[in-house]
Structure 1
Amino acid sequence: MRREITCFELIPSSGGAFEVYKEGKLIYSKLSTGSFPDTESIIKLLK
């Protein structure tokens, strides 16, 4: 079964934070990894 991303929300922040949550669970944190993910990496995490 193929699942499409139907919506997402960007919430402004400060201090270099870039975090991705799915269903309330943190799945990526730039603050933890020290690097900004590429678009493909974000899509893979969300699937």
Structure 2
Amino acid sequence: MVEKILSAYKNEVTALTLIPSSGGVFEVTSNDQLIFSKKEEGRFPEFKELTPKI
């Protein structure tokens, strides 16, 4: 997922931070706003559903 984001937005991304977690938590935020939570959705996101929100 990270590689796809960096490839698609290579000229726009100024910072990308990966924060290790536990317990199956996988969250994606953009500009400090939560745009996807595996804990809430019960699944991993599809790249195509994240791109309009990034």
Report the TM-score, using the length of structure 2 for normalisation.
0.63
Q: Which residue of 1 aligns with 2:43?
A: 35
CA deviations over 1:11-34 (Å, ceiling 9, x no partner): 100000000111111111000000
Name segments (4+ residues, structure 1) moved above 2 Å: 3-7, 38-45
Report the TM-score, using the length of structure 1 for normalisation.
0.70
Instruction: Please state if 1:25 is matched with 2:33.
Output: yes
Greater helix share, structure number: 2
Pair 16,30 (structure 1): closer, same or farther in 2 beyond 3 Å: same
Q: What is the aligned-residue RMSD (CA, Å)?
A: 1.8
The alignment covers a number of residue pairs equal to 44
Local SS of the residue matching 1:27: strand
Counterpart AA for 1:43: T
Q: Percent identity?
A: 43
Match of residue 45, structure 1, among 44, 50, 53 = 53
